[in-house]
Chain A
Amino acid sequence: MKHTFVPIVCICLILNGCDADTTINTNIPETSGNLPSQIQLEAPYPNPFSSTLVVKIRNHRAEFVTVVVENPVGDVVKTLFSENLPGAGTLQIVWNVTNEENKTLRAGFYFITLKTSSSVQSRSVKFEK
């Protein structure tokens, strides 16, 4: 199996709205045969969730990516990631269910939204306290 871009970087970032409680791994190894034809927001897990939520994004090329948590009316309650991804690979975000003020959110439905210059994808998630 041929691997594309591979170095594993595991960092806790304080970048563009991300905070130390959000763990972000970028460029996790990806076999070229598994690469999606376009950027893909995978199903967040676990869902429903009560403490942390893992969000995985698989991308096929360098691209500026924004990942936000929105409430049912579309208000952004947390920006998880807003960066340029350097190339093909997987972005993994572990979110601890806090908002921009580091307060734990109320139980209920939210959606995780991935935005790039060419697409918007959303996945609904349920937070249970």
Chain B
Amino acid sequence: MANKVVIALLIILGATSSLMSQPQYTSLYVESGYFIPSKESFRGNYDQALFIGTADIPLSFGIGIQYFVSRSSCLYLDLRIIKNLLASNEDISLTITPIVFGLYYYLPTKIINLGKFKPYSGIGVGFCRAEFNTKYLVTDESSPEPIGVAEGTQEYLGPNLKLTLGIGYQLGSTTSLGIALNYDINHTGTADEGGLGNVGGLLSTVKFTIGL
């Protein structure tokens, strides 16, 4: 299954050499990736879907902004949409939307110099909203014969912690492309609290960044 294959690399249009040499530089980025839930039951039941609609190509979508506060670090704020469809019934979906504020730290070239490649790590905190959507057959007490179709939604909220390892490649003076691995911990409450536990996991992403 193509959608089961792990896309292990991120393409990041991210921090370029020019960004690195120009603190206070603000840039926007968009990213797309593949999500692997940490929870086995989640992994076993759901397939990742296109962030809007359905497609055989499983992709999440993210958008964010970053602001350099020093030569080697920037603050960031990003939002991701990770849509998952139940493998056995595509009328059922669980969409995860983390919103994270954090810090990226770029390894100074004095420590490691890879030319146009800029490795970095990051940490962030925020919150996560998970939304369960389903269509279900409405039945009465007498038989399984459906008398209608209804739609339902249930929301879950919880804290988020994000860890990132990535590397960017300079494309131009203000653009870059890169890959990254992100580990998201999204906790939506315990089952006793009516939550879903941890709906986080490993997200490999491709990211395009453009300076403003």
Contacts and interface: CB of A to CB of B under 8 A. Distances in A.
Contacts of A76: 41
Contacts of A122: 86, 88-89, 92
Given A46-B141, A109-B154, A72 B94 contact: yes
Given A45-B144, A46-B140, A106-B194, A73 B39 contact: yes
Contacts of B44: 74
Interface in A33-48: 42-48
Interface SS majority for chain A:
strand
Contacts of B46: 74
B45 A124 contact: no
B53 interface: no
Interface residues of B, number: 35
B195 to A, nearest CB: 9
Given A45-B141, A70-B45, A126 B191 contact: no
Contacts of B132: 72, 109
Contacts of A73: 39, 41-42, 45, 94, 196-197, 199
Contacts of B137: 43, 47, 123
Which of A45, A71, A108 has the most B CB atoms < 10 Å from its CB? A45
A16 B186 CA distance: 33
Contact of A109 (B41, B134, B146): B134
Contacts of A14: none
Interface of B: 39, 41-42, 44-46, 86-89, 91-92, 94, 132, 134-146, 150, 152, 154, 191, 194, 196-197, 199
Interface of A: 42-48, 54, 56, 70-77, 106, 108-109, 111, 113, 120-126
